[in-house]
Amino acid sequence: MGTPRIPAEIDPRDVLAIDSLLSDQELLGRDTVRRFVADRVTPMWASGSTRAGSPVEMAREFGALGLLGMHLDGYGCAGASATEYGLACTELEAGDSGVRSFVSVQGSLAMFPIWAFGSEDHKARWLPSMAAGESIGCFGLTEADSGSDPASMRTTARRAPTGDWILDGSKMWITNGSIADVAVVWARTDPDGPDEGRVRGFVVPTDSRGFSAPEIHRKVSLRASVTSELVLDSVRLPADAVLPGASGMRGPLSCLNEARFGIAFGACGAARACYESALHYATQRIQFGQPIASFQLTQAKLVQMMVATQKGTLLALHLGRMKDAGTLATPQISFAKMDNVAMALEVARTARSVLGANGITTEYPVIRHMNNLESVYTYEGTNEIHTLILGQAITGIAAFG
C-alpha cells in the first residue's frame, strides 16, 4: 500500500498528473500541437484583434502536421489513435475553437464520410489532397428549418432518366462552406424511387453548376471560422456522386459521432486556457494591497475551474481509451460532449469574472473562448439534444417529440 507523497510543488496546470496516463508517443504528439498553437494560433489574436477570418491559411501546415483526417488510415492520413486525435483537439481549442472546428470539419465531417462510405474513386480523388490541406471540405446536414431534427430536411436528390442525380435545396450554418472545394451534402431521395425516400450523401465539387455558398456575416462567436449557407439549385451530379456505403440517417449521424468525440476533448482545451489566464491574472492583479489570488473567494473560483477542467480532461481521456478499444457507445459520446462543453462554458464565465473589467476585452483570450463556446454548446447536437439522447439511453423512452 502506497503512502501519499507530500509534494514540494504541484503542477497547477495538471494537478491530478493526468499527463502520467499518456504514453511517450501521445505526449510527443500533444506537445507538437501545443507548440504549433503557441507559434501560429495564439499570435493571430496577439493584438487583441476580433478578426473574422479562417484558419484556412494554415491548412497546409495542419496537413504537414498530420492533423487532417488524423485518426483515419491510408490515402495520406496519419493513422493516429483516437486518443491522439482527441489530444490534438484539446491543444487546438486551447488556441481557438474555430481552429479546432476547422480541423474537426475537415477530418471528421468531410473526410470521414468519404473514407467510411465512399467509393474507391471518391477516396483516391479527395482524401490525399484533403489530408495535405490542399483541398478543403465541408459537411452539409443542417437546414434553416431542420437543425436539431435533421431527418426533417427538405433538400432533395432526384434521379434523372440518364442516372444522374439532381440536387435541390439549401443548407444553413455550414462551417467552411464558402472556402470548400468539396461538400458532402445529405439529401432526401424520391419516396417512389429505388432509395424509397431514404437520406443519401453526395460528394459535390463546389464548382458544380448551380452550387453557391454565401457566407454568413455578423457572427460574434467563432470569428476565426467561416460559416456559410449552401445553395443547391438543380445541381446535376453523375450517378457515382452518391456515397455507396451510406443509406438513411445512420450515415450522417455516424459522422457526428467522430466530430462530437473531438469536441469533448477540445472543450477541455478552451477551459484550460481560460483557467490559466485567470490564474495568472489573479496573481498579478492587486486590490486592497494584495493580489486578488489571496482572497478566499477568488481562490474558490480558481479551484472550481481547475477541478472542473481536470475532471473533464479525465472524462475525455476515458472516452479516447474506449474508442481505441472499440467499446465506445454513442450515448457515452453525448455524455462527454454535453458535459465538457457545459463545463468549459462555466469555466469561461467564471474566468471572465476573475478578470473584472479586463475580462470583457479581447486583450485576454477569455471572452473570445466564452463567445466561441456558445456556438460549441449549440452545434454538433445542442446540450438539450444530448441530454435527451442520454435520457433515452437510461430510460428507454425517446422524449424528442
**Which residues bind to ligand TGC, rule: CB under 6 A?**
101, 104-105, 139, 141-142, 148-151, 175, 248-250, 253-254, 256-257, 259, 330, 379-381, 385, 389, 400
Judged by CB, which is closer to ligand FAD: 297, or 399? 399
Of the residues 83, 108, 332, 375, which one makes contact with ligand FAD according to CB under 6 A? 375
**Contact region with ligand FAD (CB under 6 A), list: 3-11, 52-60, 153-161, 381-389:** 381-389
Within 39-98, which residues bind ligand FAD (CB under 6 A)? none
Cα–Cα distance for residue pair 308/211, rounded to 1 Å: 44
152 binds ligand FAD (CB under 6 A): no
**Contact region with ligand FAD (CB under 6 A), list: 5-13, 20-28, 173-181, 345-353:** 173-181
Residues 6+ apart with CB under 8 A from 63: 131, 132, 133, 134
257 binds ligand FAD (CB under 6 A): no
392 binds ligand FAD (CB under 6 A): no
State in angstroms the smallest separation of the CB of 107 from ligand FAD: 13
391 binds ligand FAD (CB under 6 A): no
Of the residues 77, 322, 385, 389, which one makes contact with ligand FAD according to CB under 6 A? 385
Q: Residue 246 burial by CB count (10 A; 0-12/13-18/19+): exposed, middle or buried?
A: buried
- Joined grid coordinates for residue 189: 431521395
Cα–Cα distance for residue pair 218/52, rounded to 1 Å: 9
Judged by CB, which is closer to ligand TGC: 51, or 280? 51
Torsion angle in degrees (nearest 10) through CA of 245, 248, 249, 251:
0
8 Å CB contact between 263 and 376: yes
Residues 6+ apart with CB under 8 A from 60: 132, 133, 134
Q: Which of 93, 143, 229, 380 is catalytic?
A: 380
CB atoms within 10 A of CB 155: 21
Which residues lie across from 156 on neighbouring strands?
168, 188
**CA distances for 357 relative to 76, 286, 354, 367, angstroms:** 47, 14, 9, 11
Among ligand FAD, ligand TGC, none, residue 259 binds (CB under 5-8 Å by kind): ligand TGC
Judged by CB, which is closer to ligand FAD: 291, or 331? 331
Judge whether 9 counts as a catalytic residue. Answer: no
**CA distances for 26 relative to 30, 77, 191, angstroms:** 6, 17, 48
141 binds ligand FAD (CB under 6 A): yes
State in angstroms the smallest separation of the CB of 213 from ligand FAD: 11
Residues that bind ligand FAD (CB under 6 A): 105, 138-142, 147-148, 173-175, 222, 227, 375, 378-379, 382, 384-385, 388, 400
